[in-house]
Amino acid sequence: MTAACPACAGLPADDVAADVARPSVALSVPDVHCAACIGKIERALNALPQVAHARVNLTLRRVTAQTDLPAEALVDELKRTGYEAFPFDASRLAHDTDATGSDLLLRLGVAGFAMMNVMLLSVAVWSGAADATRDLFHLISASIALPAVLYSAQPFFQSAAQSLKGFRLNMDVPISLAILLAAMMSLYEALHGGHHAYFDAALSLTFFLLIGRYLEHRTRASARSAAGELAALEVHTAERKSGTRVETVPIADLVVGDVLLVPTGARVPADGRLVSAEAVTDRSFLTGESEPVTHGKDADLRAGEVNLGAPFTLTATAVGDDTSLRQMAAMVETAENARNSYTSLADKAAQVYAPAVHILSALAFLGWYIGTGDLRLSLNIAIAVLIITCPCALGLAVPAVATAAIGKLYQLGFLVKSGTALERLAEVDTVFFDKTGTLTQPGFDFDLDTLSDDERAIALGLAQASKHPVARALAARLGQTTPALIEDISERAGRGVSGQVAGEEVRLGQAAWVGLDGGGLALKTGARAIALRQNETLRSGAAEAIAGVRASGLDVAMMTGDSATRAKRLAQDLGLSAFTPEMAPEDKHTMVEASEAEGHHVLMVGDGLNDTVALAAAHASVAPATALEAARSASDVVLVRDSLEDLPALIATSRAAVRLSRQNFTIATLYNAVAIPIALAGFATPMLAALAMSASSLTVLINALRVRRAS
């Protein structure tokens, strides 16, 4: 669970200090939300004498600093500033550039420029240019078209070559064949004084299909591997004890049986068994729940937990790839790979369409050659069939709709990351919501009606003496109260704060430490102990989202690592009858997989690291922008706005997108049903072929825009 934006008051950023040659330290800071956050973080880090240069990347929510300080020192400084940060190994992630998108745009520009120039020359030929003038225009067209086609159509040629090497056909095989044959036959006609050439058609094919390829690429461009994000967030060094000495060693050097020291505020570097008498850790990084967990001697600890109390030692029981965190990363990677095997509508169409086009063109050539014996005429007609049937409209059918739908969803606050996300969202029939941080807002609220004025004063006096997030939230809640004078205040890490008032002991902290059964926060004044009920604030639009999803005909359930009591209370507030409490990350993953195995298509909505595997395993997934980086990476869609109210619109738009994509396939099929007989009869001139192909592509693009009116 992440904290609310701590710096929305709008603070100016300081100038960045001069960069000097120092080691670079990278941190993940999931709480960064605005320009004020950037200014506050950069100012705090740049104020440190050992930091030469600190920069915040708001999009990736990362901080990079040139400093000799260890990452832990920067983490501590950011915590004092109000931000939770995690050491981050940036070298584990690939350099994040979009070379493919830039390459496609350049090829698209070259094809478009060449197409416009060749079209001007073609208009002159169609208008009556003959003999030497016509031949000259054809040769000029060839000098423009051939280099442009050979360069711009490379993505189709490479894809077709790979497909043929694997003894299979994809949509790029007929595309490549049509472009190459049109260009080569046009060159032959130009060199032999032919009346017609297909240079404009070859370039039009390349241009329109590159539009579709680029639109498809854009829907995939932002997806990054969540498994890589998990690995990058691991601890990279550990404090290993050898007798009375403690040495800092790389994680890779650890072996099972090593005795490890975990300082206060540090992360547990490996799975292990507690040697110390007691430890208090924060498992929210793993479970999403904010309650500190107290462990006794011989308790099992997992890599990634944060030590909230005194330093403790443990014996490593799993290191390297065997730790819980690494196994979770492996499960995420496996789930991502399984989801990436989803066959899109366009791919399904290609499996049928590609062989049909080749067979039809071959039959046209054979039929005309047998009937006329004219090789040149037969080749021209076969090429006309290929151009007219070349899947320009099919190549645009899905990308055009997807791009229009993604634009609409962006206006609603959704960032769609996966190329097949809309198709998978349209198929979901079950929705699983995480509770903490997803259906509820990060933070704490309290029901204080049971406290007297004196008890409120004592609670504030104790709360303001602690830096614990729960204590600070309670102090803010009691801000109008005058605090009591409390003597001999002391804090026991992970348990609470105690002191003396008029000779009587007072305590504020965990219910069990105060003397009550159950969990949560409690106050003790003398002999009286009072539970302070922590209320969770519903995320804006949560109730409307659940009602809307249900109205769409979907089943809804809630899963959480929180206690049964708190989960039931929230479920009742939302009108949910199906919920499962006290779930580990593996349990959520198992529940999603079991539902998928029963034939359901699951939409998972979650925000924590404990949700990451389930997000990756689900048929489709959504994460709020406040989620950890790994959870956002594992999801198909990121919700930028705080409200969940428009979640039903996401599903409705996805269904409309799939419906319009299928309509586009129908349009392309009807176009072929009319155009193919004309081509087979020999009436399809290069001009008609190019115009018919362009008309079908424009029709598909116009139909795709209707998704913006879908609701």
What distance in Å separates the CA atoms of residue 443 and residue 31, rounded to the nearest whole number? 12
Q: 119 φ, ψ to 5°?
A: -60, -40
Interacting residues of 476 by C-beta distance below 8 A, sequence separation 6+: none
> What count of other Cβ atoms lies within 10 Å of the Cβ of residue 446?
18
3-state class (DSSP) for residue 637: strand
In this structure, the chain runs to a length of 711
Structure tokens that stand for 667 in this block: 């349009």
Show contacts of 331-335: CB within 8 Å, 24+ apart.
331/589, 331/613, 331/616, 331/617, 332/226, 332/227, 332/230, 332/612, 332/613, 332/616, 332/630, 332/634, 333/225, 333/227, 335/589, 335/613, 335/616, 335/617
517 annotated active-site: no
Structure tokens that stand for 617 in this block: 């395993």
Helix runs in 556-706, H state only: 564-574, 585-597, 612-617, 629-634, 647-680, 686-704
Taken in order 504, 506, 512, 516, the sign of the CA dihedral is positive
Cα–Cα distances in Å, from 526 out to 455, 456, 484, 566? 11, 14, 14, 28
Cα–Cα distances in Å, from 236 out to 248, 270, 318? 10, 10, 15
Q: Which of 318, 288, 327, 281 has its CA nearest to residue 583?
A: 288
Structure tokens that stand for 368 in this block: 């005309």
State the amino acid at position 122 in one-letter form: S
What distance in Å separates the CA atoms of residue 452 and residue 445, rounded to the nearest whole number? 18
The upper half-sphere exposure of residue 66, i.e. CA atoms within 13 Å in the direction of its Cβ, equals: 9
> What count of other Cβ atoms lies within 10 Å of the Cβ of residue 610?
31
Contact status, residue 261 vs residue 242, Cβ threshold 8 Å: no
User: Active-site residue among 434, 607, 611, 636?
Assistant: 434
**Residues marked as catalytic:** 434
